[in-house]
Chains A and B, each alone.
Chain A
Amino acid sequence: MYIILAILVCAFYGFYIGKKKPLRLIQNKDLTKLNSSPNYHGYYVFLWCLIPAIITFLTLNFFSNFLIKQIVLDLVPEIESIAKTNIEFVYNQIKTMASGTADAFSADEKLIVAAEKYNELISISNASIFVICICLSSFLLIFIKKKINLEFPARKKVEKFIKLFLLICSIVAILTTVGIVLSLFFESLKFFKQIYFFDFIFGTHWSPQIAIREDQVGSSGAFGSIPVLAGTFLITLIAMFIAVPIGLFSAIYLSDYAHKKVRSILKPLIEVLAGIPTIVYGFFAALTVGPFIRMAGESIGLDIVSESALCAGLVMGIMIIPFISSLSDDIILAVPQRLKDGSYALGATKSETMIKIILPAALPGIVGSILLAVSRAIGETMIVVMAAGMSARLTANPFEAVTTVTVQIVTLLTGDQEFDNPKTLAAFALGLELFILTLFLNLIALRIVKKYREKYE
């Protein structure tokens, strides 16, 4: 910490120096002689003092920690026989002992030696890093100061740096995607080394729980993802049956029938549905809707389980309504007024104009919004975790319990984890499947919506 502080002090001093120098160089305080305002000279020196030193600090710190770990662990020879996770544990033990919080009497002799060595190495490395960073910072301060003269284009250079910084920030988005793809891909690759790829994609039997019992025949478990996907699509379909008509009709009413004032109240109210956390919907589904559907089924002689696909789909549909209504509302409003006027002029009523003119014109945009909603429904987790079942079955009956991709990911990854187990890795394979599926839907939907927007702009 104090190293960063020292670098900062150096950098602020650099700012002061950088700002003063051009002011000293010019006569009669005639600022027009300067290429850039003195502040920019200050910023320029500041950045040169700060950034290289910080980068050096971080890299040196990383490498020294790595080296220290190697040296310290070499002092504890029996380490090689212990598993990899235990090495971390031993190292953490040494570290707590070194900080003096752990009870040194109860510990192993070797660990105490290692802890002492650790303390020694840490102080050496900290001191050397401190010296290196401060030297670098002050050297750059002197060097850069020499460069400053009246014609020095400090503003341009600083702005160039800021622009680069902004670019780096926007690359974080790419890095996130790369991170997602790589992490899912490599974990899935490990999974497909153990489970045949086509068994996963086309298999119709899913029961990952078997896989942990090694004595059992066929201990590889069954990892056919078709029933899981089928459950996902069934619930999504039910959700869409609720959300599409209601969302669409709401959008039509809001955009064309509602008074402006009424609209300004109703629209945010419907959007509240989208702002409610999904866990709340899940709780609502499990506690209220599930038993209600079962009771309703009993009263008409139907046997419906509490965790039926219908329940999860229904509640998910309610959640999705605002996604469809808001986007469709915008899209309907974007249809040019002249199309509407033309239709009214021909004597069509409002509903006829809507059905025959506006909706066909807005269709691509509406399809886009529905696709986005479908992608949302497929990836939705908490509602199905709390309201849908665990057992994977291939059925189209909405009154039965089905499972979804997200439910399986959650059940496979909560609880104890070992990362060479196909059961755990299967979650990543499912995650990859989910990611690819939603990626396609999103890309298509975003493309359609964008094309549509351009058409009427």
Chain B
Amino acid sequence: MSNIIRNDILTPVSSKRTTKEKLFKICGLSAIIFALSMLVILFTTIFSKGYSAFYQTRIKLDINFNEELIDPTGAREITTLNTADYSKLISQSLFKFLNIDKSHPKSSEIKSLISYNSFLTLRDRVLNDPDIIGKTKKINLIASDDVDQMLKGNININIPEENRKITDFQIEAIEKFKSNGNILTVFNKTLFIKSDSREPEVSGVLGAIIGSFYCLFIAACISVPIGIFAAIFLQEFAKKNKVTDFIEININNLAAVPSIVFGLLGLSVFINFFHLPRSSPIVGGLVLALMSLPTIVIVTRASLLAVPGTIKDGAIALGASKMQAIFNQVLPLATPGICTGVIIALARALGETAPLLMIGMIAFIPDTPIAITDPATALPAQIFMWADHPERAFVERTSAAILILLSFLIVMNAAAIYIRHKFEKKW
């Protein structure tokens, strides 16, 4: 204490000292402003890059379901209808609209205006309603990602032709479509009902969301009961001895072990030792369960500790056993706190990527997983894979996937905050 009793403190508040005081306060304030502005920049960057992925360009075409092309025999057999060349229908319609011939040197450029997978749309149309054959229908087809990006203003059309992904001839065609009102901008349903794809315009996050959901569900089923029971034991029953001390240090340390180490554990134990299937939500769920377990134990203990001891004493005084007092009195009172902590721990597990990389949940999986042993990916892993693609359209989709992930997290955290405010008692 002796060091503070120096002259400058004993003198009246000088102007030098007030400036120092102000400066200190400004430093604190600017630190907070810096942190918050980073938060704002982060959110605005992601949002400004990602919101445009929620709508999509479609081109309205008059498709002539030419009987000779689809089913020349007229037998309407499923196999014929399945294997017919539907992309030819699309290119015919395109050529007709633009008044060019099949032999035109740039005809392939025109074909690539429409998404490569669009023939599937036509096929499904025909399979659903074979009577359509022979008729001409107006159909909205998904435009290719380059067209989409150009119309969203993400491709600079003023640079030389060879440096951009879209040619002059294509731009001309797009302008013609536009002036005829054949370019539509619609809500991007594909993003929510499709899984991963090589073509950005038909890729979606459904598979990843289901994978994430499975992982989280398995993780919750394992870590929540075990975590809560372990916490009850440590908080209420454990006697102070070497073993419980060791368990306690262990749990505190596990909460700070890098997540990638849990991934290594999952790889060598669950996959190499127990031979569980790689890339499957069950392994992902197990790893995430082990990862969120220590956090759940810690928050549960804190909630149990927050319940006043008098309640337990009261119950015991009325003749309850210690077990009854804890399970019937203390635990219900601690439930809101436990719920809040559990939701926050699971939200963190939902956003975790590194351990999932270790157990192979970053594979290109175009199918939507059904069982928990199917190969799957998870939302953050999907974001990681899309972030690796060079196409501009995938940048947009990556940001959109991040927005979807963040909205899940916001919902979970909001629920946690709501529970805390609504049910938590202040003693």
Contacts A287-B45, A318-B38, A379-B257 known; A163 to B237 CB distance under 8 Å?
yes
| C-alpha spacing A186/B229, complex, angstroms | 31
Is there contact, CB below 8 Å, between B254 and A279?
no
The 3 A-B pairs at the shortest CB distance, nearest first, are namely: A379-B258, A277-B351, A253-B28
A-B CB contact pairs (8 Å), 13 listed:
A155-B321, A162-B323, A163-B237, A170-B230, A172-B230, A174-B247, A250-B35, A287-B49, A288-B45, A347-B13, A351-B25, A356-B4, A379-B257
B387 contacts chain A at the CB level, 8 A cutoff: yes
Residue ID in chain B nearest A360 by CB atoms: B3
Q: Is the CB of B21 within 8 A of A173?
A: no
Give the contacts of B1-53 with A (CB-CB under 8 A): 3-5, 9-10, 13, 17-18, 20-21, 23-25, 27-32, 34-36, 38-39, 41-42, 45-46, 49
A343 with B4: CB separation less than 8 A = yes
**Residue in contact with B384 in the complex, picked from A180, A375, A382, A446, CB distance below 8 Å:** A382
Max chain A C-beta neighbours (<10 A), residue from B5, B25, B265, B362: B265
With the chains together, A179 CA to B269 CA distance in Å? 8
Chain A residues with CB below 8 A from B275, complex form: 88
Interface residues of A in 209-267 (CB under 8 A from B): 245-250, 252-254, 257, 266
- Closest partner residue, chain B, to A449 (CB atom): B252
* Cβ–Cβ < 8 Å partners of B49 in chain A: 287
Complex Cα distance, B17 from A356, in Å, reads: 14
Cross-chain contact A270 with B36 (CB below 8 angstroms): yes
> Given A375-B256, A381-B258, A173 and B323 touching (CB < 8 A)?
no
- Quick check: A187 and B387 within 8 Å, CB to CB? no
CB distance from A191 to the nearest CB of B (A): 12
Interface string of B367-399 (1 = CB under 8 A from A): 000000000000010011001000000010011
CA distance A275 to B251 in the complex (A): 21
Chain B, interface size: which category? 35 or more
The 0/1 profile, CB within 8 Å of B marked 1, for residues 426-457 of chain A is 01100100110011001101100000000000
Select from chain A the residue with minimum beta-carbon distance to B22: A351
**Chain A residues within 8 Å of B, Cβ to Cβ:** 88, 155, 159, 162-163, 165-167, 169-174, 176-177, 179-180, 183-184, 186-187, 245-250, 252-254, 257, 266, 269-270, 272-273, 275-284, 286-288, 318, 321-322, 325, 343, 346-352, 354-357, 372, 375-376, 378-382, 385-386, 406, 409-410, 413-414, 419, 427-428, 431, 434-435, 438-439, 442-443, 445-446
Contacts of B28 in A (CB 8 A): 249-250, 252-253, 257
The answer for the CA separation of A176 and B38 in the assembled complex, in Å, is 36
CA distance A318 to B246 in the complex (A): 34
Determine whether the beta carbon of B409 is less than 8 Å from that of A180: no
- Contact A173–B46 (Cβ < 8 Å): no
B271 — nearest CB in chain A belongs to which residue? A417
Q: Is the CB of A272 within 8 A of B39?
A: yes
**Whole-angstrom CA separation of A94 from B38 in the bound complex:** 57
Q: Determine the main DSSP class of A at the interface with B.
A: helix
Residue of A nearest to B417 (CB): A268
Contact between chains at A434 and B258 (CB < 8 Å):
yes
Whether the Cβ atoms of A257 and B383 lie closer than 8 Å is no
Q: A187-B268, A379-B257 are in contact. Are A277 and B405 (CB under 8 A)?
A: yes
Residues of B within 8 A of A (CB): 3-5, 9-10, 13, 17-18, 20-21, 23-25, 27-32, 34-36, 38-39, 41-42, 45-46, 49, 225-227, 229-234, 237-238, 246-247, 249-254, 256-262, 264-265, 267-269, 272-273, 275, 290, 293-294, 297, 321, 323, 344, 347-348, 350-354, 357-358, 360, 362, 380, 383-384, 387, 395, 398-399, 402, 405-406, 409, 413
How many pairs, one residue from A and one from B, have CB atoms within 8 Å of each other in the complex? 272
Given contacts A257-B28, A318-B38, 7 further A-B contacts (CB under 8 A): A162-B323, A174-B246, A279-B384, A354-B24, A386-B384, A443-B253, A446-B256
Separation of A276 and B380 alpha carbons in the complex (Å): 12
Residues of A within 8 A of B253 (CB): 177, 439, 442-443, 446
Task: Kindly list chain B residues whose C-beta atoms are within 8 Å of the C-beta of A375.
Answer: 256, 258
**How distant is the Cα of A99 from the Cα of B380 in the complex, in angstroms?**
35
Give the CA-CA distance A266 to B33 in the complex, in Å: 10
Do B250 and A174 have beta carbons less than 8 Å apart? yes
* Inter-chain contacts of A254 with B (CB < 8 A): 32
> In the complex, which residue of chain B has the Cβ closest to the Cβ of A88?
B275
Contact of A245 among B31, B252, B260, B269 (CB under 8 A): B31
A400 to B107, CA, bound (A): 47
Give, as a whole number of angstroms, the nearest-CB distance from A186 to chain B. Answer: 8
Contact assessment for B252 and A184 in the assembled complex, using a CB-CB cutoff below 8 Å: no
Expressed in whole angstroms, the Cα–Cα distance for A352 and B5 within the complex equals 11
Closest partner residue, chain B, to A446 (CB atom): B252
A409, B261: Cα distance in complex, Å = 10
Q: Which of B3, B9, B230, B413 makes the CB contact (< 8 A) with A275?
A: B413
In the complex with contacts A166-B229, A378-B258, A443-B249, A351-B24 CB distance below 8 A? yes
Chain B residues lying within 8 Å of A442, measured Cβ to Cβ, are 252-253, 256-257
**A372-B256 in contact (CB<8A):** yes
Most buried by B among A247, A386, A413, A428: A413
Cross-chain contact of A266 among B32, B251, B268 (Cβ < 8 A)? B32
Q: A183-B265, A187-B268, A276-B406 are in contact. Are A346 and B9 (CB under 8 A)?
A: yes
Q: Are A278's CB and B31's CB within 8 A?
A: no
A431 and B42 CA atoms in complex are apart in Å by: 31
Residue from the list A176, A280, A356, A434 in contact with B42, Cβ < 8 A? A280
Select B29's contact among A88, A187, A253, A351, beta carbons within 8 Å: A253
Closest to A349 in B: B21
- Chain A proximity of B43: nearest CB distance (Å): 9
